[in-house]
Structure 1
């Protein structure tokens, strides 16, 4: 029950009759340009993601003082 080559050719002939070869050529060109732009955009996006992590690989140190926060459990332990 698959689609044979003859059925595809009949469908193609009907499409050519309905739209004409000039319009189909324009649609094909537009589709090709869209695919080309999509691929170039994907490559640019990959280049940007590869550049970003190499800015600072060492990490950052935040200088400051650490103070202990007294919680309710700590207060109860001090009372006992």
Structure 2
């Protein structure tokens, strides 16, 4: 049961009748954005930071302690 060219033409004609020629580009754009978002979510190309909170806090406190130590060294020199 493959889709032939006539079935495709009929389906596209029905879509044109239902949505009209002005709304089809907007529908295509939103479908493209949805597919891109889905693909991005599946492949893991998102830029979320998944570092656990306790590691983030220790990195921040470590860098602030290093800054304090370097300031003390400057004042004592």
- Pick the TM interval, shorter chain: 0.3 to 0.5
Q: Higher helix fraction: Structure 1 or Structure 2?
A: 2
TM-score when normalising by structure 1:
0.44
